[in-house]
Amino acid sequence: MSGEPLVRWDWVGAHIGPILDRLGQHLYLAVIAVSIGFAISFGLAAVAIRRRRLYPLVTLIATAVYTIPSYALFATLVVFSGLSIVTAEVPLVLYTFILLVPNIVAGFDSVPQDVLDAADGMGYTAGQRWWRVELPLAVPLVVAGLRLAAVSTIGLVTVSAILGDRFGGLGYYILEGYHRTFPTEILVGGLLSIALAVAADLGFVLLQRLLTPWAAARLAPGVAVR
């Protein structure tokens, strides 16, 4: 409407409760997708590491899925599972594979062979070596994959708004604002989605520092490396 401000703060103030509900819904959908995607990707990566011939096939399938337009995938799944959380989550989970599997594999591949040999020389079992040596050293690249998957998924959750207001999270406001030609709703949905993605990225950076304190100590200024 001509002459109307870009942001209607009175509308924002009157909708704080619903906005927070949408924010929580957005986070809920993203956490489920990244958690399930990570669990499946970790299993696929473990198989790919032990059966190297399967790795190209795994990456090919993950890449092929990632190239499918999200709208088309959501629409296709509606035929099979209706307007349900399964329809919302399946594409979000599938899109994490191409971001997680290669990073997990690369993380474990980055562990130096001499370190593995030293662990074997110390009498570590395969399980002990994996838990105490391989996994800690693979953490930086694994977390890097999680950061990408989290940010990407938070963005894709907005697309699930096409399934209805139960699954759109902050995307509901973007879609509603567009239909109503109401910039305030578009800005609320878009800016909060961006803020949520930035917060998730920073959260994973903090998680990596907590899990790999030796890396931070090594890079700290004034610390001598022996």
Cα(71)–Cα(159) distance, rounded to whole angstroms? 7
User: pLDDT at position 11, please?
Assistant: 86
Q: Which two tokens stand for residue 107?
A: 């993380």
Residue 4 lies in a domain: no
Residue 135, domain CATH: 1.10.3720.10
**Averaged pLDDT score across all residues of the chain:** 87
Length of the chain: 226
User: pLDDT at position 19, please?
Assistant: 93
Low-confidence ranges of the chain (pLDDT < 70): 1-3, 214-226
- Angle at which helix 16-50 crosses helix 85-94, to 10 degrees, equals 50
User: pLDDT at position 10, please?
Assistant: 86
Q: Which residues contact 155 (CB under 8 A, 6 or more apart)?
A: 193, 197
From 41, 36, 103, 91, select the one nearest 66 (Cα to Cα): 91
User: pLDDT at position 146, please?
Assistant: 95
Cα(174)–Cα(158) distance, rounded to whole angstroms? 8
Residue 226 lies in a domain: no
User: pLDDT at position 216, please?
Assistant: 58
User: pLDDT at position 60, please?
Assistant: 92
* Domain span at 136: 9-212
For tokens 């942001």, the residue is 7
Number of structural domains (the chain) is: 1
* Number of neighbours of residue 159 by Cβ within 10 angstroms: 22
Task: Give just the sign of the alpha carbon dihedral 128, 113, 141, 98.
Answer: negative
User: pLDDT at position 182, please?
Assistant: 87
| Coil/strand/helix, residue 170 | coil
User: pLDDT at position 131, please?
Assistant: 85
* Number of neighbours of residue 13 by Cβ within 10 angstroms: 8
User: pLDDT at position 8, please?
Assistant: 84
pLDDT, tens digit, 9 for 90 and up, residues 105-129:
999 999 888 888 888 888 888 888 8
Q: Which residues contact 140 (CB under 8 A, 6 or more apart)?
A: 107, 208, 212, 215
Residue 2 lies in a domain: no
Contact 37, 100 (CB under 8 A): yes
User: pLDDT at position 3, please?
Assistant: 61
